Amino acid sequence: MSTPALFSPARLGSLELENRIVIAPMCQYSAQDGCLTDWHVMHYGQLAMSGAGLLIFEATAVAPEGRISWADAGLYDDATEAAIDRVVQAVRQWAPPMPLALQLTHAGRKASCSQPWKGGKQLPADDPRSWQTVAPSALPFASDDRPPLALDAEALKRLVEDFASTARRAVRLGFDAIELHAAHGYLMHQFLSPLSNARTDHYGGSLENRMRLPLEVFEAVRAAFPADRPVTVRVSGTDWVEGGWDIEQTIVFARELERLGCAAIHVSSGGLDPHQSIPIGPNYQVPLARAVRTEVDMPVIAVGLITEPQQAEAIIGTGDADMVALARGILYNPRWPWHAAAELGAGVTAPAQYWRSQPHNLKSLFES
């Protein structure tokens, strides 16, 4: 019997993946002063035993003010580096071999917020855990948010260096890949969209100008990360708001990223504007991934309400995307790849301690 498309090998640059299941970055809002905690040892430990092809660590801020919330992860000093190192070492020691990637981000105007289960809104200025946010322009995300400070030329230079410095720390930590977060309304997306970027200098206005800062960040990270390790980018394919960022602009951006050596593009959507109108449903973002895939040669990752094995298999099998990413679905079912392999007639890598758990009728499920 032939191998299901979902469980066929894949490549990100020179990085070989066992299958085409990617664990998407998922913020845990459980860090302390930017440092990962014991929660993250448990969280990433269980995900690393899932049998997926790639595990991407959550959005990790390149500066303290780039965190989405006061409880977000960072990688910008020795303390935050040591905290991530402890988690990575635990995962490497106990889980089966699995490539690990780190998503780098700056939240821009969507920073200084409370945790989602506490409302997720921006904290008031008099809250001791809040800070002044920054953005391309002094335009707040929500009407009752404190306006961000527009980044000046010197601040932009520091920002690019912050991304490069964090990439160098990721090298020391042994990450196999980096994903840059240019989606969901965070800082790089804020530069891309005309809804949040009202600058009149060479970082605003035309599409070429709005892409300039994200491309500069990509080049700096690509130069700081070893050439044999891939750098990928996550984008929002559309703002879902008229006059905003859209799939046509996304394709132009993707082509430029590919020209600069981007190893893959991860296509999500939305997050930039509270007025977005998203047609949420199974596969609702897959057409965006398909549109990009027809225009670039690099692998494209689809994400968004992909919950069923046959659904994921169809996305890969029909060529809509090269890989699928799971987020909430794998939080709900951390063994999703095991169950998908069982349903589709494939095998996964599992820790030896769990081999006896496979059902009697699935003796070839776990690959040693």
Q: Which stretches does DSSP call E strand in 18-93?
A: 21-23, 54-61
**Total number of residues shown for the chain:** 368
Compute the distance between CA of residue 286 and CA of residue 319 in angstroms, rounded to an integer.
11
For residue 149, the SS3 value is: strand
Q: Which is catalytic among the residues 44, 76, 186, 203?
A: 186
Neighbours of 126 (CB within 10 A): 6
Cα-based distances in Å from 191 to 42, 146, 204, 212: 35, 19, 7, 8
Helix/strand/coil (H/E/C) assignment for every residue in 165-185? HHHHHHHHHCCCEEEEEECCC
Task: Decide if 269 contacts 251 (C-beta within 8 A).
Answer: no
Pairing of strands 348-349, 366-367: parallel
Compute the distance between CA of residue 120 and CA of residue 124 in angstroms, rounded to an integer.
12
Compute the distance between CA of residue 263 and CA of residue 296 in angstroms, rounded to an integer.
11
Cα-based distances in Å from 45 to 103, 130, 244, 351: 17, 31, 39, 12
Cα-based distances in Å from 279 to 196, 247, 265: 22, 15, 22
- 186 annotated active-site: yes
Q: Which candidate, 300, 293, 173, places its Cα nearest to that of 232?
A: 300
Which residues carry out catalysis? 186
